[in-house]
Structure 1
Amino acid sequence: MRKTNVSKLYETYPHLTQIDELWGTRDCREYLKRLMNDTRDGHRRGFPGDHARTILRLLVEHDREFPQFEESITSDWRDTVRESRGDMQG
C-alpha cells in the first residue's frame, strides 16, 4: 500500500490518477520520471512545489518498494567505461 498522500495532487491534476493504475510497474517509474522532467522543449511550466514534492516522494517510494525497476547509474556507468575501453566481453 502506497504511503504518500496523493489526494491534493489528484484533486488538482485528475489525469495523474494513472499513477495508481501503473503502480508497481516499470511504466510507473518512467511516468513519474517524465512528470519531473521537461519533455516539451522548454514549454512545460512544471508543478507547484507541493505537487512536485509529492511526485518526487512517489518516485522514491516506488523505488524502495520496487527496486527491480530502479535504474542502476553505477552499472550503466561501468558498462559505458568498458565499452569505451573496448573490454566488453558479451
Structure 2
Amino acid sequence: METPGIQASRKVDTTALYQRFPHLQAIESEWGTRACRRRLMNLLTDSRGGTRQGFPPEHARTIFGLLAEHDRLYPAFENDLQGQAWTEYSPR
C-alpha cells in the first residue's frame, strides 16, 4: 500500500517492491530520517554471515534507487556509517 504524498513526491516507483516484500513498506514511515538510510544500507549489505540470498535484480535496483534518492534529498545522512569503521567492513 502506498502512502499518499510520499510516493507521489519521489521518482523511484516502489509498487512492485512493496508488493513482493510488504514488510519493506516501513521505509515509508522512516523516509527522510537517519533510520531510513540505515535500513536501506542494511538491505543492500550482507549482515547474516553469507546466508542472505539477496534481492532479485529489479528489486535491488529499486532499493539502490531509493538510497540514491534519499541521499540526494537528505545529504546530511549520506556519510552515516552506522558507527562502523571502514576497517570493520569486509566485502565478499
Normalised to the residue count of structure 2, the TM-score between the two structures is: 0.76
Give 2:53's match in structure 1, choosing from 45, 56, 61.
Answer: 45
Could you list the structure 1 runs, at least 4 aligned residues long, displaced by more than 3 angstroms after superposition. Answer: none
Task: Tell me the equivalent position of 2:70.
Answer: 62
Query: What is the CA RMSD across the aligned residues, in angstroms?
Result: 1.6
Gaps of 5+ in 1: 74-90
Instruction: Output the CA distance in 1 between the equivalents of 2:18 and 2:11.
Output: 15
Normalised to the residue count of structure 1, the TM-score between the two structures is: 0.78
Give 1:18's match in structure 2, choosing from 11, 21, 26.
Answer: 26
Kindly provide the CA deviation profile for residues 1-36 of structure 1, in whole angstroms up to 9, marking residues without a partner as x: 221000000000000000001000000000000000
AA partner of residue 70 (structure 1): E
Gaps of 5+ in 2: 1-8, 82-92
Instruction: Output the CA distance in 1 between the equivalents of 2:18 and 2:47.
Output: 21
Instruction: Output the CA distance in 1 between the equivalents of 2:45 and 2:80.
Output: 18
Matches within 5 A, 1:28-39: 28-39=36-47
Instruction: Output the CA distance in 1 between the equivalents of 2:40 and 2:77.
Output: 12
CA change 1:2–1:43 in 2 (3 A) is same
Say which structure is richer in helix: 1
